[in-house]
Each structure stands twice: as C-alpha cells, then as structure tokens.
Amino acid sequence: MSQKAPNPTPETPKPRPEGGGNPSAAKPVGGAGTNATPAKPVPAGGSAPSAKPAAPTGATAKPAAGTAPAKPAGTDRPPASVANRVAAASGQAASATAVRKPSPPPARTPAKAADTQKPTAKRLADKATGGRRKLGQILVDLGFIDEDQLWDLLNEARTLQQPIGQVAIARGLITEEQLLQALAEQFNLKVVNLQEVKPQPEAIQAVPETMASVYKVLPLTFKDNVLTVAMADPANLPALDDLRNFLGVKQVVPVLASSKALQEAIAKAYAGKEESIVDIIQQLEKDPEIGKHFRQHETSIDLESLQELQDAAPVRKLINMVLLMGIKDRASDIHFEPFEEEYKLRYRCDGVMYELVPPPRHLAPAISSRIKVMANLDIAERRLPQDGRIELNVGGNPVDMRVSVLPTMFGESVVIRVLDRTVVQLDLDRLGMDPDTLAKFRELIRKPNGILLVTGPTGAGKSTTLYSALNELNSVTDKIITTEDPIEYDLDGIVQVPINPDIGVTFANVLRAILRHDPDIIMVGEIRDVETAQIAVQAALTGHLVLTTLHTNDAPSAVTRLRDMGIEPYLITATLEGVLAQRLVRRICPDCRTEYEPGKELLMELNLTPEQVQGKKFYYGRGCERCNNTGFKGRTGIFELLVISDPIRDLIANNASTDAIRQSARKMGMTTLREAGLRALFSGITTIEEVVRETAFEEEG
C-alpha cells in the first residue's frame, strides 16, 4: 500500500551477542584458546598427524571419514567426553603428540569470555541503524539521563509503542528543549527559536495555510528556489518530499522547533492570510498568460505548452489545495469533470457528492496533466484510460491516492480515490454493530472453515468490515492471505496479493495459487464469477476459512445469488456459515444536533404510526463550521446478519425462495436492515431521511 512514514520508533532492547559486540571474535569450537590450529585431514588409509593437546590450545582434531563432522564455530560445544570418544573412534588420541609443528595461524583478536550479565542500556542504544546514533544514547551522552533511566525508557517505549523522547518528557526526565537539542545532534540540524525568527513574506506566500497546517511546518525563508521550513519531527522525511513535489521547489531544508511554539507560530503567520480555492481560481481567471494558448487552440494542444502550464504556480497551488482540503474534509473521492461549457470539481464526503467552486474551463488539460505527472502517468496519452497512484505523508500519516483518468467527449475525467488509514478505524467494535450482532459475527469469523459473505452495494463499507475482521484474526498462529482489487490498506503480518486482469492475474487464478501456500484464512475481495465461487467453495471444503463479498441487497438474497451462479445447493449448505448485509448512514453532527418533531408524511416513509414513535426523540443537524454546514459528520453502519442454522440449511437444500429464507431467519431473531436503521434513528445517531435512503429496497421488495 501505501508508503509508510518513518516515524521515530522506540528503541527495542535486544540481548547482546555472546562474547560481546564483536561477532568476529567468537570462540573456536573446543576451547577458549586463541592460537587454535585446525588438524590436518586424515590421508586415506593412514593416520593423521596429531594435533596439539586439546587442553592448552583448544583445537579439536577433525574426525576421520565416517565420523560426524565437528560443529561449525558459533554452535554448541560438545562435552569433552564426547570429543574424546569421537577421536578414539577414528584411531586418534585426543592428547597425542604432534609429529611436526604446524605453521602458526594468522593473528587473531582474542575472544572474550561469554558475558552472562544483563545487557546494558548503552549497548542496546548503540545498535544504531543507518549510521546514526540512537536518541537514547545521545540523551545519556548529553547528561540528561543516566543508563538505568535509559534502560527503563527503552522498555516503556517498546510497551507503549511511543517514541522514547515523548516517553522521557511524559515521565518528567527531560524538557522539550533538551529533546530538541538531542534531536538536533542526531539529525545534524539547527534549532531555531520561533519567538525570535520572523518568517519571510515570500515563504508564507509560497506555502498555503492548509498545507502548513496539515504537514505541521512553518515556512521561514524562500530564496533561489530553496525553501527553509521549521518542523518538530525531523524523522518525517516524506513530508519534506511531499512539499518539494507539491510546490515544485529545488530543495526543502528543515530546521527544528518545539511543537507548541510551532503551532502558535503557524497560527500567527497565517492570521487573516488564509487563501481559499476561490482566491486561487480568481488569480487564474485574471492572469492573461495562463491558459492563453488553450483558449485559442484547445483542440490541438502541443506537449511543450502543456508541460509549461501544468508547472505554473497557480495551477500547482490549486491542485495542492484541492487534494489537501479533500483529505482534511475526509472526502473518499475527488472528481475533476470536463463538460462542454464548464469544468466541475466535486468531493464525495460521507457518501454524498458536493460541488466546489469550478475552475476555468480552459484549464482542464493543465489540471489533468498536473495530476498525471503526480501519479507517474503519460501526459502525452489522451486517448486511453490510465490508472496510477499518488503517495503522500500528511501529518505523519501515509495517505494513498488512487488516480483514474478516463478520456471523455470533452476531455479527460479524473477521479482520485482517497485512502486515509486515519479516517477508517479497522476495529469491529467501532463499525456500529449492536452487541448481539457483533457477538454472533465474532463467532462466525472464529470458525475453522467455511465461507462468510459480506454483501451490499459499492460504497457500503464491505471492505472495511473485512479488514476489521482480518485485523482481529491476525496472529502469529494463523497464515492469512488476501487477494484484492485494489489493495486498499496494507496490514502487517498478512500476505496481500493485488489483482491485474491485464496480465491474467484474476481472482480465480490467484485463489488457486493461494491454496498452495498453506493458508488458514483467505480473503477474496469479491466473487465476480462462477469460477471464483467454485474455487472458494472448494477452499472451504478443504478446511479453510474464506471471507469474501457479493453484491446483493440483503443477506437472504446472497443464497439465491450463489444458486444463480451455478453453485449446487448441497455445496452451499456444506460451506456457507453466515451472510452479513450492511449499509452506511450518515451520523448527525454532534455540535449542531437539534431535536425536532417530524411530520406524519415523513413518518409514513418508514411505515411508522404515531403510536410507534410515542416517547421517541428525533434529531437533525442544523449545520455548523465543523460539519461544513452539512449537518452530518462521519458515517456508521447498519447490519443484517443471517446465521446459517440447521433450519436455514434445510430450506437451502430444498431450493426455498428468498422470502421463505428471510421469514425463517426473522423468526429465529435476525434483525433486518430497516430494523437496524430504526435503532440508529431512535438512538439519535441518524435521521429519518438517511434510513429511508439506505433501506428503501425493503419497501420495493
């Protein structure tokens, strides 16, 4: 997936190698001597020259053919009695007198005695990587902490999974200024006092406020196309790369500043100077040079002019702000759409499209070309669809952007899928399941074999549910392999295989290969055809747990879908363990949530009578700055879980209808999507309109 940010990680204590830190000084097998000479090989049919006595020299004679060879250096040493028996069996006495004195071996560093004491913190901290000293040892060298404190900090940082510097500050062992001093020495950077340094106006103008806030940097100077920025995390190198690529500067030079002072300085530097998308678009419209060529010859664009325009500062600034605002507003998709008379810019937030201020129509080629450059696509190719990706590191968190370019009648349409791991919590407890459904779902994913289906339309959160399940199942005792199109999030400890149909890498082909890799749990992104379905069934029959998705309206319809794909009913009953149908409804913004009394017409859309809603409270969002005046902030799931019990298996085996399966499941306690939506409504989580929008199909059925 996406690029991982090299955040400062805790220094993990590791035991020292035996004999000290010098691996070349390992003891020779057979004793502790320093001048050990290996015995000469035994000639065929004769006896070998005697080696030096074992006790003084530590040398071990090589056994004759037919005997076990001596262990290589660094392995466990056999007892002396064993060595003597081996020597005796080969016709050699362990203490025989040497026939002639062998030539002296090359000079060697004497091996140190094995150190059985606990490894010191200094030795642990000295295991530097990349040629850079560890922060913990620098703190000791500067006299801020002692070695005993370092030892405790290393263990605590490893337990808490936090940087050692932050742990030391939290324990009151060092100040933030002392941490900055140590970081400056570690990264060879300069520390600045932001109360004494005034940012240059040129630097502030070069970096938009949104970018400075997201990347947590303060531009200080901008000269000769070199930008100097203050930052609090010197290990966040990807942020510097993003700034350089976004801004098109030659180099970004970092200096260190305290985190608190940095936040205050950013707010002060940009007070009243925040530049919006509207401001940038106005600049583009007023600049007579930008897009002049395109207004005149929009149907025949030469590559040189296209490259010049996509590198223009306002175009760069516009795209940078659109992308960063999309991340900040938690947009799942960003759309750039060309039409005959206009160029639309839209976000999809919480499943709903919102339109932004449109850029000038003549800039469409420049905008699409700039995005293609960022995604490493061919800007000269305007006839074929292209797919790429943009990897960013925003605020220390990796953000992966999947770019899709589609040629249309009026130019290239660009859609960017934003995959921000910080927005999606891969935790079953945070998906919105009620306790009973969650407990049953956890039982299903713990089964040793079988198929578990998650169903719903595109954008219903199926992948997030599967990722959350895998995140909970992920352990060293199970081998988990996934095949996805595309891989949305990378999970540590799980083998993930992307699909590439252009070269024949399909779900079915990959699934066959996965079965030869000894998996315990398999996740298939989607069952799209009968071949994939058949292989998934065979995998479940041979002792694997298979998690996958289908596109159906509700849980009982998944059984009918499998039958329509050609899977025999007896195979469905033998392998299918459960079906989870789901939808996503928008959450009412907690900052502007307001109680109200809905009208009868609105209640009738959910078939609710006044008696059913008596004593219930209803809410909506008025709209505020936090929710961008939408009244909603975030989404939650509503779920319908069909557990394949014995009565349900009998119905499936007898080719029962979807309605019959649904009615039987409801009698056994299954909560439908509409009922789950009503629970969210009566809990004040969502609105009547949201429940109607996501469960209208139940009325149609």
Q: If 0-12 CB within 10 Å is exposed, 13-18 middle and 19+ buried, where does residue 283 land?
A: middle
- Token readout for 191 is 């520390």
Strand runs labelled E in 208-262: 217-223, 226-231, 251-256
pLDDT number for residue 692:
92
Of 55 and 390, the one with more pLDDT: 390
Residues 72-129: tens digit of each pLDDT: 444 444 444 434 433 444 444 334 334 444 444 444 444 444 344 444 444 444 443 4
Mean pLDDT of 624-650: 92
Mean pLDDT of 654-681: 94
User: Whole-angstrom Cα distance, residue 618 to residue 332?
Assistant: 28
Most confident listed range (64-68, 110-114, 375-379, 637-641): 637-641
pLDDT band of residue 600 (cuts 50, 70, 90) is confident
536 phi, psi to nearest 5 deg: -65, -40
User: Whole-angstrom Cα distance, residue 210 to residue 463?
Assistant: 30
Residue 406's beta-bridge partner residues?
413
pLDDT number for residue 488:
82
Instruction: Among 32-46, 224-238, 324-338, name the one with the lowest average pLDDT.
Output: 32-46
Of 41 and 478, the one with more pLDDT: 478
Residue 613's beta-bridge partner residues?
none
Residues 377-436: tens digit of each pLDDT: 998 888 999 999 888 877 667 888 999 999 999 999 999 999 887 777 788 999 999 999
pLDDT number for residue 288:
53
Confirm if 178 and 199 have CB atoms less than 8 A apart: no
Name the pTM for this structure. Answer: 0.62
- Token readout for 580 is 């989870």
Q: What is the 3-state secondary structure (H, E, C) of 90-154?
A: CCCCCCCCCCCCCCCCCCCCCCCCCCCCCCCHHHHHCCCECCECCHHHHHHHCCCCCHHHHHHHH
Q: What is the 3-state secondary structure (H, E, C) of 498-529?
A: ECEHHHCECHHHHHHHHHHHCCCEEEECCCCC
What percent of the chain lies above the pLDDT cut of 90? Answer: 38
Mean pLDDT of 454-475: 93
Average pLDDT, rounded, for the chain: 78
Residue 596's beta-bridge partner residues?
618
Residue 581's beta-bridge partner residues?
455, 640
pLDDT score of 591 more than 60: yes
User: Whole-angstrom Cα distance, residue 20 to residue 697?
Assistant: 71
pLDDT number for residue 37:
42
- Token readout for 414 is 């660009």
pLDDT number for residue 276:
59
- Token readout for 330 is 């938690």
pLDDT band of residue 317 (cuts 50, 70, 90) is confident
Residues 505-535: tens digit of each pLDDT: 888 999 999 999 999 999 999 998 899 999 9
pLDDT score of 339 more than 60: yes
- Token readout for 308 is 């010049």
User: β-pairing, 226-231 with 251-256?
Assistant: parallel
Confirm if 619 and 681 have CB atoms less than 8 A apart: no
Q: What is the 3-state secondary structure (H, E, C) of 166-217?
A: HHHHHCCCCCHHHHHHHHHHHHCCCECCCCCCCCCHHHHHHCCHHHHHHHCE
User: Whole-angstrom Cα distance, residue 437 to residue 579?
Assistant: 12
